[in-house]
Amino acid sequence: MMISRPASPRRRVPDMRLSTLRGMGETAIITGAAGGIGAAAARRLAAAGARCVLVDRDPGVSDMAAAIGGTALVGDLTDPELSERAVAEAGDGLRLLVLNAGTNCADKDPATLDLDRYRAVVGVNQHSVTYGLRAALPVLRRGGGGSIVVTASLAALHGVEQDPIYTMTKHAVIGLVRALSGPLSREGIRLSAVCPGLVDTPLTAGARDRFQAAGIPMLSADEVAAAIEETLRSGEPGTELVVHPGRPPVRYVQAPIP
- What amino acid positions are annotated as catalytic residues? 166
Length of the chain: 258
Single-letter amino acid code for the residue at 28: A
Which H or E run includes 251?
strand 250-251
> CA-CA distance, 8 to 196, in Å (whole number)?
24
Which ranges in the chain belong to alpha helices (H)? 18-21, 36-47, 61-68, 80-90, 115-122, 128-142, 164-185, 208-213, 221-234
The values of phi and psi at residue 196, to 5°, are -85, 155
Contact in structure between 95 and 143 (CB atoms under 8 Å): yes
- Angle between helix axes 115-122 and 164-185 (nearest 10 degrees) is 20
> CA-CA distance, 199 to 193, in Å (whole number)?
16
Single-letter amino acid code for the residue at 193: A
> CA-CA distance, 35 to 240, in Å (whole number)?
23
